A = this chain, B = another copy of it.
Amino acid sequence: MVSKNTEHPEEIEIPEEISGLRMTRQRQEVYRILQQERNHPTANDVFMRVKDRLPNISLATVYNCLEALVQHGIIRQVNFERESSRYCPNLSEHGHFHDQTTGVIHDIDFKPGIRLADLLNLPPGAVIEDVEITLRGKLANI
C-alpha cells in the first residue's frame, strides 16, 4: 500500500476511515486543520486554510465535510450567540469561555467528579443527550 504522505513525515496521519466515515481527501484535510488549529475556527476559516493543500475545494464541501465529521462524532460543532458555527476536535465533555476583549475561546473542563445534570432541577423523565455550557466574560490582566 502506497503511503499517502511519506513526503510529509511530521504531519498527523489520518486513517482511511473513522467511526464508519469514509475519510476522503477533503475530509482528511479538513480534519487535519481542526487538529492543528485549536482556536475553534469557523467553516470559512477552515476553507481558507485548506485551500493551501486543496486549491480546488469549495466552501460547500468544507461545510459537507464538517457536517459529516460532526454527524459521526469525530468533531464538535460549537455555537456562540448567532455567530458562525465553530468547530473543535476536543470530544471530552467541556464548556467554552468566550473572552469578550480578545474574542478568544477557551475550552473549560469540569472539576473532577462533577456531573452537571445532578445540579439542575430537570423536568421528570428528562434524558439528556447533549449539554452546552458557554461563559462570556473578561480576563483580568494579572
Chain A contacts to B: CB under 8 angstroms: 79, 81-82, 85, 95, 97, 100, 106, 108-111, 114, 116-142
Contact = CB atoms under 8 A, between A and B. Distances in A.
Contacts of A117: 135
A126 B137 contact: yes
A131 B127 contact: no
* Copies of this protein, total: 2
Contact of A106 (B79, B118, B123): B123
A127 B111 CA distance: 18
A97 B82 contact: no
Given A109-B120, A111-B120, A138 B127 contact: yes
Given A79-B79, A109-B121, A117-B135, 19 more contacts: A79-B81, A95-B120, A97-B123, A108-B122, A108-B123, A110-B121, A111-B118, A111-B119, A116-B119, A116-B133, A123-B139, A127-B138, A127-B139, A129-B136, A129-B138, A131-B134, A131-B135, A132-B135, A133-B133
A127 B120 contact: no
Give the interface SS of chain A, mostly helix, strand, loop or mixed: strand
8 contacts: A79-B79, A95-B120, A111-B121, A116-B119, A119-B119, A127-B138, A127-B140, A129-B136
